[in-house]
Amino acid sequence: MVQAIVINGLIFGGIYAVLAIGFSLVFGVARILNMAHTAFYMVAAYIILTGTVVLGLPLLPSIILAVVITSGVGMCCYKLSLDPVKEHGIVVLIVSLALALVFQEVFFIIFTGRYRGISSFVPGFVELAGVRVLYQHVFTIGAAAIIVIGMMIFLSKARFGKAIRAIADDREVANLMGINVSQANLITVGISAGLAAVAGAVVAPLVTVEPVMWMSPLIMVIAAVILGGLGSIKGSVMGAFILGFTETFVVFLVPMGSYLRGAVSLAIMVIVLLVRPEGLSGVVFEEERL
């Protein structure tokens, strides 16, 4: 049981971390809370389903197509519907949530509400300490770790990553230094949607693909971002793994745990915020930083 808890905790924590990084990037740079973020995770899963099952395309081209299309869709959604109202926080929340619901209804119309599945990208399994571990699990954990580490390196070393951090620190100064803030906002949204697409791609074989699959991850990602410290990438990753392991513990060790996992995770978030309102990372809400 211990091995199963560790594996599932790493899987869910890793996926939440990838989604949380994208959510935090958009908040830190564009200063918007994009409630449609996990809808892009769903879009990618459906594109891969369409490519591999309906069109019979190989897996790798389907994944690449899903990431590219999803990034483009995210940028278009931002430019057409979120950018014009980005100064009005409540309006952004309403519009972005409406976008997610539009995606949901479109997939309901096209695919109906039937649960669908995608075959494992890496078939087979290995036995570790008497526990059967799917290669797909190992692949998902490895992919999530590479993405998280890669994004940390990108933000600290790459030129555009440093520009993102500069904008998050002070938009006015970044603008005076010659950084095109509007363009950076758009590209950051594209990166964020691409991260959501990659998360959808690696986790698609482990979950059912359905038109409401975006809802549960959205709640957990928001909880992870707030728990870690709103605007902090490192804090978001930390919060994601805390909630991922919390969910796993509840499912494996608590009766009816599958129904309670979300409530327990959110309760932990509330308790931490009562003690540290700025979240675990110590980032004060009025001075969000990446």
> In this structure, which amino acid lies at residue 42?
M
Which has the minimum average pLDDT: 4-8, 93-97, 145-149? Answer: 4-8
Structural contact between residues 202 and 111, judged by C-beta atoms closer than 8 angstroms: no
Provide the 3-class DSSP secondary structure of residue 55. Answer: coil
Q: Say yes or no to pLDDT of 91 above 60.
A: yes
Query: Is residue 131's pLDDT more than 60?
Result: yes
For residue 79, the model assigns a pLDDT of 92
Mean pLDDT along residues 276-283: 70
Q: pTM higher than 0.85, yes or no?
A: yes
φ and ψ at 212, to 5 degrees? -110, 15
**Per-residue pLDDT at 112:** 84
pLDDT in tens, 68-82: 999 999 999 999 999
* DSSP designation for 285: G
Position 287 scores a pLDDT of: 45
More confident residue, 269 or 110: 110
Paired with 126 in beta bridges are 133
Percent of the chain topping pLDDT 70: 95
Mean pLDDT, rounded, for 156-162: 89
Instruction: Give 130's pLDDT tier (boundaries 50, 70, 90).
Output: low
Question: What is the pLDDT confidence band of residue 285, given thresholds at 50, 70 and 90?
Answer: very low
pLDDT tens, residue by residue, 176-203? 888 888 898 999 999 999 999 999 888 8
Q: Tell me the backbone φ, ψ of residue 118, rounded to 5 degrees.
A: -115, 135
